[in-house]
C-alpha cells in the first residue's frame, strides 16, 4: 500500500514546489483534509491559504496537505464549486491503520452535517484517536466528532448556528461559544473566518510569530484572534449596536431556556430598566422583551430545522411553559406553525 503522501499527491498540493523540498522530512507537517459534500469553501480556504503563504514566506514546504472525499470523486462545496481530491476515506483509513497517518486530520462539513455520518468516516476518526493523530473539526464538523463519541465530557465549540442543536442533541457535551477549543488531540473550531485564527496559531507555534505576522500582513488581516474570543451574532461596533446593548443581548442569548425578567438583566449590566428600554428603542426599534422573544423563537426555529427533537421539548428548551403558547408565538413570528416549518425541511 502506498504512503498517504505519494509524489503524485505532492504534485496536487497547492504551493508544493519540488525545487525547494524540505531536507529533513521530520520538519514537514502533513495534513489530510476530509471534505464532505456541501462543506464551507470559506472555512476551508481560510485554513489552507495561510499554510500556502507560510511555505512561500519561509521558502520551504513546512506544510503539505492532500484532500480526500468520501468516494474519491470531486466534491462540491456549498457555493457550488467543485474541488479536486487526491484520495478517498477508505484509503485514508487504511493508511492510518498501517501507522502511516498524517500529522493531523482536518474535517470539513456543511449545513446538513447531521446526515453525513458514515462508517468510513467514523473509522478514520477512531483510528486517529487510537494512533494519537490530532483531529481538527472546522465549522459544523464538530457534530461528526460528537456522533463518533469522541467529545464526551470534553469542551468544544461549533458554528453558532448549530450550537443550540448540538447542545440539545448531545446533552453531555460542554459546548462553548469560543472561536476554537484545543486539547492535545482534538480541536473544534467555529469555522468560516475562525478557521484563519486557528491556523495562524498553528503557524505561529511551528514557524514562529514573525512568520505568522508576515502571513497576516500578506492577507491584510493585521492580526488573528485568540481561541478565547467569543462568537457573537451581534457585535459592538455593528451599525446601531453599542457595547452596552451588545452585552444585554449576550445575557439574553445565555438565558434562552430560563428567560430572565428585565429587572434581573438590568442588575447584571448595572443599568436601570428604563436605560435598557431606551437603548433598544434607539438601536433596534423594539422593546427589550419583544427582542428577547424573537431570540428565543429564532433558536426554536433552528432546532426545528436542524434536529428531530419533539416540538414540545423544543418549546421547553426555548423557555416556553406550554406548547400551545409556543405555537401561537411561533406562528405570529414566522407565518407558519412549528410542525409546518419542520415539514418543509429537506437536504
For residue 19, give the CATH number of its domain.
Answer: 3.40.50.880
Give yes or no: residues 102 and 146 share one domain: yes
CA dihedral 187, 192, 193, 199 (to 10 degrees): 30
- Within a domain: 187: yes
With bands split at pLDDT 50, 70 and 90, how would you rate the model's confidence at 345? low
Listed in order, strand segments (DSSP E) in 177-226 are: 180-182, 186-189
Could you give the count of Cα atoms lying within 13 Å of 246 in the half-sphere of its Cβ?
14
Nearest CA-CA partner of 245 in 295, 296, 281: 281
**How many CB atoms are located within 10 Å of the residue 129 CB?**
17
Residues 262, 213: one domain? no
232 inside domain:
no
CATH of the domain at 298: 1.10.10.60
In a domain, 69, yes or no: yes
122 and 215 assigned to the same domain: yes
* Degrees to nearest 5, angle at CA 33 with 88 and 79: 95
Residues 281 and 211 in one domain: no
- The pLDDT score that the predictor gives to residue 25 is 46
One domain, residues 61 and 162: yes
Question: Does residue 236 fall inside a structural domain?
Answer: no
Q: Is 34 in the same domain as 171? A: yes
Any alpha helices (H) in 270-309, and if so which ranges?
273-284, 288-306
Render pLDDT for 113-160 as a digit per residue (tens, 0 to 9).
988 989 999 999 999 999 999 999 999 999 999 999 999 778 999 999
Does 269 share its domain with 186?
no
- Quick one: pLDDT at residue 12? 34
Q: Is the pLDDT of residue 11 over 80?
A: no
Would you call 66 exposed, middle or buried from its count of C-beta atoms within 10 A (0-12, 13-18, 19+)?
Answer: buried
Pair 163, 264 in one domain: no
Same domain, residue pair 68 and 154: yes
What range does the domain containing 26 cover? 7-219
Q: Which of 83, 94, 71, 2 is nearest to 43 (CA)?
A: 83
Q: Cβ distance 110 to 20 under 8 Å?
A: no
Q: What is the DSSP string of 126-146?
A: HHHHHHT--EEEEGGGHHHHH
Domain count for the chain, please give it. Answer: 2
Calpha distance 283→48 (Å, rounded):
38
- Is a pLDDT exceeding 50 seen at residue 86? yes
Cα 346 from Cα 232, distance rounded (Å):
27
Amino acid at each position: 500500500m502506498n504512503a498517504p503522501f505519494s509524489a503524485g499527491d505532492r504534485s496536487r498540493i497547492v504551493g508544493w514546489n519540488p525545487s525547494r523540498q524540505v531536507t529533513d522530512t521530520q520538519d514537514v507537517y502533513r495534513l489530510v483534509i476530509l471534505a464532505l459534500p456541501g462543506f464551507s469553501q470559506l472555512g476551508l480556504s481560510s485554513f489552507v491559504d495561510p499554510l500556502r503563504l507560510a511555505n512561500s514566506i519561509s521558502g520551504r514546504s513546512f506544510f503539505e496537505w492532500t484532500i480526500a472525499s468520501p468516494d474519491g470523486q470531486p466534491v462540491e462545496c456549498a457555493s457550488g464549486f467543485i474541488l479536486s481530491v487526491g484520495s478517498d476515506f477508505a484509503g485514508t483509513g487504511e493508511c492510518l491503520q498501517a501507522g502511516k497517518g498524517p500529522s493531523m486530520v482536518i474535517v470539513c462539513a456543511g449545513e446538513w452535517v447531521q446526515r453525513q455520518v458514515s462508517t468510513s468516516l467514523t473509522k478514520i476518526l477512531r483510528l486517529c484517536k487510537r494512533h494519537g493523530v490530532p483531529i481538527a473539526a472546522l465549522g459544523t464538523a464538530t457534530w461528526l466528532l460528537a456522533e463518533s463519541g469522541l467529545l464526551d465530557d470534553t469542551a468544544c465549540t461549533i458554528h453558532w448556528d448549530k450550537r443550540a442543536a448540538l447542545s440539545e442533541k448531545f446533552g453531555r457535551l460542554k459546548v462553548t461559544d469560543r472561536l476554537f477549543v484545543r486539547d492535545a488531540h482534538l480541536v473544534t473550531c467555529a469555522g468560516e473566518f475562525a478557521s484563519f485564527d486557528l491556523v495562524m496559531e498553528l503557524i505561529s507555534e511551528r514557524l514562529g510569530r514573525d512568520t505568522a505576522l508576515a502571513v497576516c500582513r500578506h492577507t491584510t488581516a493585521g492580526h488573528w484572534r485568540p481561541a478565547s474570543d467569543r462568537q457573537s451574532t451581534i457585535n459592538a461596533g455593528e451599525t446601531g449596536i453599542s457595547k452596552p446593548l451588545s452585552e444585554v443581548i449576550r445575557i439574553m442569548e445565555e438565558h434562552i431556556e430560563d428567560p430572565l425578567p428585565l429587572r434581573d438583566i438590568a442588575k447584571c449590566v448595572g443599568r436601570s430598566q428604563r436605560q435598557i428600554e431606551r437603548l433598544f428603542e434607539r438601536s433596534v426599534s423594539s422593546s427589550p422583551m419583544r427582542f428577547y422573544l424573537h431570540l428565543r423563537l429564532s433558536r426554536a426555529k433552528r432546532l426545528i430545522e436542524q434536529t428531530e427533537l419533539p416540538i414540545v421539548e423544543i418549546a421547553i428548551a426555548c423557555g416556553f411553559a406550554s406548547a400551545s403558547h409556543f405555537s401561537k408565538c411561533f406562528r405570529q413570528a414566522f407565518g407558519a406553525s412549528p410542525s409546518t416549518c419542520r415539514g418543509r425541511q429537506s437536504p
